[in-house]
């Protein structure tokens, strides 16, 4: 069964735009779990423009489902993750000035570095997922680095889905099949939405987890947070 992990960065973005503590990020995380989500994802960046390092520490004490921290493993991020010890860390090759994640790792060129990071986090008892583009060779590279899972960067799928969904998902299916062949767990995330999520899960039903933030929080402006979480769950609980 695929799990829904809700990325709450956008809630923190709204809070930070005004200062103070409205909306309350910690309460939102607890409520989202209560509405049925099976995980909470955060992506702290060095400039703390949304989730802050202090938020990560506070959330660890509250989250009862799976806690996933994603980000570029710069020294401060590594220290934070090893301190907090979430259930999962997702390694993402973000530049410091990236608006949002825009590419997966080249797991071949960065094999030595990623292997070091995987071993570091696993030694802290943390499951490690590597964010990759939909290329089977990147899944092979992730396996050689010792990763537990890969997360497919699904922006391309979301962009091409309205034009030709079968063509859009084809490279994701090939990469997912390779990951399964290698014994890797499979996550997916970026621009997944109520429009395109169910087809992705029907085509790749062995997906372990989807991490969804921007679309879900945007939908919640109209539908409310509880109904939105349940709407997304209905798209993945289809078997």
Question: What pLDDT was estimated at residue 97?
Answer: 59
Respond yes or no: is residue 96 known to be catalytic: no
Question: What pLDDT was estimated at residue 150?
Answer: 98
**Active-site residue identified among 33, 50, 66, 70:** 70
In the chain, what is the greatest distance between 2 CA atoms, to the nearest angstrom?
Answer: 48
As a whole number of angstroms, the distance between CA 151 and CA 48 comes to 23
* pTM to 2 decimal places: 0.95
Question: What pLDDT was estimated at residue 94?
Answer: 75
As a whole number of angstroms, the distance between CA 192 and CA 94 comes to 19
As a whole number of angstroms, the distance between CA 164 and CA 171 comes to 13
Q: Which CATH superfamily is domain 3-236 in?
A: Aldolase class I (3.20.20.70)
**For 106-145, how does the pLDDT look when each residue is reduced to its tens digit (9 = 90+)?**
999 999 999 999 999 999 999 999 999 999 999 999 999 9
Residues of the chain falling short of pLDDT 70 = 95-102
SS3 percent helix, strand, coil of the chain, rounded to 5, is 45, 15, 35
CA 91 to chain centre: 10
Let me know: does 147 contact 104? Beta carbons within 8 Å. no
**Active-site residue identified among 43, 50, 151, 209:** 43
The domains of the chain are located at 3-236
Let me know: does 67 contact 39? Beta carbons within 8 Å. yes
**Active-site residue identified among 33, 50, 66, 190:** 190
The token pair at 188 is: 């997916």
């Amino acid at each position: 069964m695929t799990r829904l992990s809700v990325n709450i960065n956008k809630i923190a973005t709204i809070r930070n735009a005004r200062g103070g503590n409205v909306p309350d990020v910690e309460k939102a995380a607890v409520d989202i779990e209560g509405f049925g989500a099976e995980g909470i994802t955060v992506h702290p960046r060095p400039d703390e423009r949304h989730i802050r390092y202090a938020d990560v520490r506070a959330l660890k004490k509250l989250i009862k489902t799976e806690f996933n921290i994603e980000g570029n493993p710069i020294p401060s991020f590594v220290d934070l993750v090893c301190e907090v010890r979430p259930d999962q860390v997702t390694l993402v090759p973000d530049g410091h000035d990236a608006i949002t994640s825009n590419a997966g790792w080249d797991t071949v060129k960065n094999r030595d570095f990623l292997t070091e990071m995987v071993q570091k986090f696993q030694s802290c008892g943390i499951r490690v997922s590597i964010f990759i583009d939909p290329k089977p060779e990147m899944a092979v590279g992730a396996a050689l680095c010792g990763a537990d899972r890969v997360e497919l960067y699904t922006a391309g799928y979301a962009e091409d889905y309205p034009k030709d969904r079968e063509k859009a998902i084809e490279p994701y299916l090939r990469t997912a099949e390779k990951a399964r062949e290698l014994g890797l767990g499979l996550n997916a995330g970026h621009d997944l939405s109520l429009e395109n999520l169910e087809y992705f899960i029907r085509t790749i039903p062995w997906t372990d987890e989807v991490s969804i933030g921007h679309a879900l929080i945007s939908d919640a402006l109209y539908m409310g947070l509880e109904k939105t979480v349940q709407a997304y769950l209905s798209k993945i609980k289809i078997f």
